[in-house]
C-alpha cells in the first residue's frame, strides 16, 4: 500500500526546486531583454551627443562598482527608497494609490528634527534616536491619515489628496527652516545640525553605511509577513479586490483603508527620519531630493511586492550613483541619468507586464 503524505492530503505537493527555477527563466529573460533594449536606446542618444556608448558604460561601471565609497553610497541611497516603496506597497494591497510618500518623508524628517531640538543636545543619544523614530512614524501616519479621512468623509481620491499634501508638507518644511528653526540668519537656511550622539551609528569606522539599512531590510520581512501571513493582510486584500463584496462579508472597509494608508505613512515617515539622522543631519531646502517619487516608481517596478522592492531600490540607487559618472566622465548633463532611468522603467514595465488574453 502506498503511503499517503500530508502534502498529498492538502494537494500542495511542492515541485522540485529545479522545476521552480526553470519556471522563472522566461520572466528573467524578459527582464534581461527589457534592460538591454533600454541600454540600446540610450546608446543611440549617447551617440547623438558624440559620446562613445562603450566608453560611457565602462566608465560608469568602473566608477560605481570599483570604488568602495560609491558602493557604500548605493546602500545609503537605497535605504530610504526601500522604506518609501513599502509605504506605497501596503496601501496598494488595499487597492489604494499612495502618491504622498514625498510629503510623508518630509513630515517624518520634520518630526524627527523637532524632537531632537526639543530634547536638546544634552539628552542621551539613544534616547534621541528612539524618540525621533517614534515621532517620525506617528507624524507620517497622521499625515497619511488626512488623505484617508478625506477619502472616507468627502470621497476625495487618495491619489489626488496624497499628491497635494506633498506640496503642503514642503511648505511646512520651508516655513520652519526659514523662520523658527533657522540656525544661522546668514547663508542657506538650515536647521541646527543633529548632535553626533544622535546620528545613526555606521556599520564600521570609516564606512558610510548606517544601521538604517538593516532596519529597512527587517521591515521588508515584517511587511511581507504582515501582508501574507496575517488576517489583517488577508482582509485588506479582499477589500482591495472588491470593496463592496468585503462590506457584504462584514469587513469594515473604512477601518482597513485608514489602517493601510497610516501604516504606509508611518513607513515613509521612518524613511524621512533615517535620511535625516543617517545622511543629512539637518533640514534644508530640497531635503530628500525627490525620494518619495523615486520610491513610488521603485514600488511599481517591483509590482508592489516587498522582496522585489529591495532589488528595485538597489537599481534606482545604483543608477543615481552611476549618474555622476555620466556627468563627470562623459560630460553629459546631470539629467541624463533621469533619461536612462525612465527608459529602463518603461522597458521593464512594458516587456514584463503579463497581458490578459481575451477569449471570444
CB 217 within 8 A of CB 82: yes
Rounded (10°) CA dihedral 243, 244, 245, 248: 120
**Residue 123: what are its φ and ψ, rounded to 5°?**
-70, 150
- Measured CA to CA, the distance from residue 131 to residue 300 in angstroms comes to 32
- The reply to whether 107 falls in a domain is yes
Higher-confidence residue of 143 and 341: namely 143
Strand, helix or coil for residue 223: helix
Mean pLDDT over 122-133 rounds to 95
Does residue 252 lie within any of the structural domains? yes
In a domain, 16, yes or no: no
Residue 56 within a domain = no
Q: Residue 285 falls within a domain, yes or no?
A: yes
Asked if 140 contacts 90 with a C-beta cutoff of 8 angstroms, the reply is no
Q: pLDDT tens for residues 153-209? A: 999 999 999 999 999 999 999 999 999 999 988 888 999 999 999 999 999 888 899
Which pLDDT value is given to residue 310?
95
Task: Output the pLDDT for position 334.
Answer: 76
Structural domain includes residue 190: yes
Residue 141 confidence (pLDDT): 97
Q: What percent of the chain has pLDDT over 90?
A: 61
Question: How many distinct structural domains can be found in the chain?
Answer: 1
Convert the pLDDT of each residue in 228-272 to its tens digit: 999 999 999 999 888 888 888 889 999 999 999 999 999 999 999
Residue 135 lies in a domain: yes
Domain range enclosing 277: 78-198+206-305
Amino acid at each position: 500500500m502506498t503511503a499517503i503524505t500530508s502534502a498529498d492530503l492538502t494537494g500542495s505537493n511542492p515541485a522540485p526546486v529545479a522545476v521552480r527555477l526553470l519556471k522563472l527563466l522566461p520572466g528573467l529573460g524578459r527582464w534581461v531583454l527589457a534592460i538591454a533594449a533600454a541600454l540600446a536606446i540610450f546608446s543611440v542618444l549617447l551617440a547623438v551627443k558624440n559620446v562613445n556608448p562603450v566608453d560611457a558604460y565602462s566608465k560608469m561601471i568602473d566608477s560605481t562598482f570599483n570604488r568602495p565609497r560609491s558602493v557604500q553610497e548605493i546602500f545609503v541611497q537605497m535605504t530610504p527608497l526601500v522604506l518609501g516603496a513599502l509605504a506605497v506597497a501596503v496601501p496598494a494591497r488595499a487597492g489604494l494609490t499612495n502618491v504622498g510618500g514625498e510629503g510623508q518623508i518630509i513630515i517624518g524628517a520634520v518630526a524627527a528634527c523637532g524632537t531632537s531640538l526639543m530634547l536638546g543636545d544634552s539628552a542621551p543619544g539613544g534616547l534621541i534616536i528612539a524618540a525621533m523614530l517614534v515621532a517620525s512614524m506617528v507624524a507620517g501616519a497622521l499625515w497619511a491619515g488626512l488623505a484617508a479621512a478625506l477619502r472616507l468623509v468627502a470621497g476625495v481620491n487618495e491619489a489626488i489628496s496624497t499628491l497635494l499634501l506633498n506640496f503642503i508638507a514642503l511648505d511646512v518644511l520651508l516655513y520652519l527652516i526659514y523662520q523658527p528653526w533657522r540656525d544661522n540668519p546668514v547663508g542657506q537656511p538650515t536647521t541646527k545640525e543633529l548632535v553626533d550622539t544622535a546620528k545613526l551609528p555606521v556599520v564600521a569606522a570609516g564606512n558610510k553605511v548606517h544601521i538604517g539599512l538593516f532596519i529597512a531590510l527587517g521591515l521588508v520581512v515584517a511587511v511581507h509577513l504582515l501582508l501574507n501571513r496575517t488576517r489583517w493582510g488577508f482582509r485588506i486584500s479582499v477589500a482591495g479586490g472588491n470593496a463592496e463584496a468585503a462590506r457584504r462579508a462584514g469587513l469594515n472597509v473604512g477601518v482597513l483603508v485608514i489602517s493601510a494608508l497610516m501604516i504606509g505613512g508611518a513607513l515613509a515617515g521612518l524613511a524621512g527620519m533615517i535620511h535625516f539622522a543617517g545622511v543629512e543631519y539637518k533640514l534644508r531646502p530640497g531635503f530628500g531630493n525627490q525620494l518619495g517619487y523615486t520610491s513610488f516608481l521603485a514600488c511599481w517596478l517591483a509590482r508592489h511586492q516587498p522582496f522585489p522592492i529591495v532589488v528595485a531600490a538597489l537599481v534606482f540607487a545604483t543608477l543615481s550613483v552611476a549618474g555622476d559618472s555620466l556627468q563627470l566622465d562623459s560630460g553629459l548633463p546631470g539629467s541624463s541619468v533621469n533619461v536612462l532611468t525612465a527608459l529602463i522603467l518603461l522597458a521593464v514595465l512594458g516587456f514584463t507586464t503579463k497581458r490578459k488574453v481575451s477569449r471570444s
